Amino acid sequence: MYYVVTIATLVTMALALVRAVLGPTVYDRVLSVNMFGTKTVLLISVIAYLAGRPDFLDLALAYALINFIGVLAVLEFFKSRTARRLQEQSEREEN
Q: Give residues 54-73 in contact with another protein (rule: CB under 8 A).
A: 54-73
Q: Is 95 in the site for another protein (CB under 8 A)?
A: no
Q: Is 76 in the site for another protein (CB under 8 A)?
A: yes
* Cis status of the peptide bond prior to 24, with omega within 30 of 0: yes
Of residues 15 through 44, those in contact with another protein by CB under 8 A are: 15-44
Q: Is 89 in the site for another protein (CB under 8 A)?
A: no
Task: Supply the minimum distance, in Å, between the C-beta of residue 16 and another protein.
Answer: 6
Size of the site for another protein (CB under 8 A): 89
CB atoms under 10 Å from CB of 12, counted, come to 16
Q: Is 94 in the site for another protein (CB under 8 A)?
A: no
CB 20 within 8 A of CB 36: yes
- One residue of 51, 92, 93, 95 binding another protein per CB under 8 A: 51
Q: Is 1 in the site for another protein (CB under 8 A)?
A: yes
CA pair distance 94, 86, nearest whole angstrom: 12
